[in-house]
Structures are given as structure tokens and as C-alpha cells.
Structure 1
Amino acid sequence: MAARHLITGQAGEELAAAFLVEKGMRIVERNFRCASGEIDLICEDAGTIVFVEVKTRSGAVRGEPGEAIGPAKKKRLIKAGALYLSRHRAWSRPCRFDLVGILFLHGETVVEHWEDIIDVRDGLDRGHAPWQPW
């Protein structure tokens, strides 16, 4: 039997995918894995590639889902997103990084969606973002 946190995480990803589809996004890929890490969901939203991190909590002990993305995690997401863009020759397409937080608390389910959680301009080096290949 799978560990409780894995079951909770999978349930959260399923809810997040359904939520995003309901908002009009199309799920392109789930659980994209590479050496830099994993992207939970990759979606398309009106021509924009959306890399989605899903954070699921079953209580408030570990904090709110939206608090779980620190600088190191953002860096890993950028690297994984860059690899995805390279593999799919999609560098010319607009993209963004979103977060969907799922909170299961006292029999209630709360879903929150934050768009564009990573400002790649913060990583600009001589005019280039760290996720660009040039």
C-alpha cells in the first residue's frame, strides 16, 4: 500500500488537473521528470505553455500550500521547464509557471490557483533569462 502522503499528493494532482481543465486549459503532460526534478502538470492555456506545480496539504501543520515554493524549488522548476522546451523545440512559445494549492482540512477541500509564480526576469543575466538556451 502506498504511503499516505503519496495518496494525498496523487488526489491533489487529480483535483488540480480537473480544476485547470474546467478553467479552459488543456493537460499536455503529467509528471514530467528529468535530472533537475519534476513538473507535476504541463498545460496549454490559449497558446501559452503552463508549467504547474501542485502542492497538496491534508492539514495546516506543514503550512499553506502556497508557502511551499522556495528559491531552490523555483530554480529546479526553471531548469525542468527549460529541458521540456528544448525537447519539444518550443522556445518560441510563451510560457509561465503556475501553482495550484490543494488543502484538505476538516472535511473541506480548498483549491487555489496562482498564475505566473516565477518572475524569470529576476534571473536575467545580461538580458537573458536562465531558462533561455542562448
Structure 2
Amino acid sequence: MPWKLRLSNRKGAEAEKSALLFMKQQGLTLLHSNFACKMGEVDLIMLDHSILVFVEVRSRSHSQFGNAASSINRNKQQKIRKTAAVYLQKYRQHSHRICRFDAISIDNHDSTGQNSLKWIKSAF
């Protein structure tokens, strides 16, 4: 049975949708969303010209435990790297590409009620 990811987190799905729209506006092309295997999951896999970009999307409603980007710890980074390796094995047509790991951080600013989106290229 193939690995299946279920997105039951509505806020997370909305954050990924916002991130995807933003990345497309920046000229990137979507290859896959929510690529999952038993090693982990990558939110967005995109092309930035010839560079293959693995994107982790994080959002935070409150800043009491830090901003969204700070939640991408070393363990999460390792899972994303391992998942990227599985992706490259499965989709060998991309194995020649330079790879980059980006992050999209979406934080809610309680005082304004608006979200701020930050694109961190080569986050790890």
C-alpha cells in the first residue's frame, strides 16, 4: 500500500496554499505538493529556473514559543533531507539538478491581526 498523507489541519493547509500562491508569484513552478514517504514529508517541491527547491511551510498563530521559522529544528531538517533523497530516487529526471531547501514562515501579528510571510532561501 503506498504512503498516504492526510491534511487534517485546516490552518496548515491554508498556510501551504498561501505559500504556494506566493512562490508562483515569484516565478517558481510547482512540481509536487505534500510529497510524503515513511521518512517524512515535504510541503512543496518547486522549480526555480533549473534549481529543484524543497519548501517547508510553517505558520504560527502566537509567538510565545518563537516564530514559525524557529520551529524547523535539526530533526525536522533531517527528515526533509531524507524525504528529498527519496523524491530524487523516485523522480530520477530531477537527479541532475542542484537542490535547495527553503522555508516559508507565516507569523500572525496579534496587534495588527495580519499575517506576515517570509521566504527564507537556502534555510538549511
**Matched positions, count:** 114
SS in 2 for 1:79: helix
- Equivalent of residue 83 in structure 2, options 62, 67, 80: 80
**Bigger radius of gyration:** 1
Is 1:95 the counterpart of 2:99? The answer is yes
The match for 2:23 is 20
1:50 corresponds in structure 2 to 53
Q: Counterpart of 2:13 in structure 1: which amino acid?
A: Q
Asked if the contact 1:8–1:57 (Cα under 8 Å) also holds between the matched residues in 2, the reply is no
Cα offset, 1:27, TM superposition: 1.1
For 2:49 and 2:123, locate their aligned partners in 1 and report how far apart those are by CA, in whole Å. Answer: 18
Note the residue ranges of structure 2 that are not aligned, 5 or more in a row.
1-7
In the alignment, does 2:39 pair up with 1:36? Answer: yes
* Cα deviation code 1:58-96 (max 9, x no counterpart): 111231011011111111111000010110002211111
TM-score, with length taken from structure 1: 0.81
Correspondence for 2:121: 115
Partner-residue secondary structure (3-state), 1:61: coil
Aligned equivalent of 2:3? none
Give the aligned residue type for 2:102.
Answer: D
RMSD (Å), alpha carbons? 1.2
Q: d(CA) in 2 for partners of 1:62 and 1:7? A: 21
**What one-letter code is carried by the residue in structure 1 that aligns with 2:26?**
K
Deviation at 1:34, TM superposition (A): 0.3
Counterpart of 2:50 in structure 1: which amino acid?
G
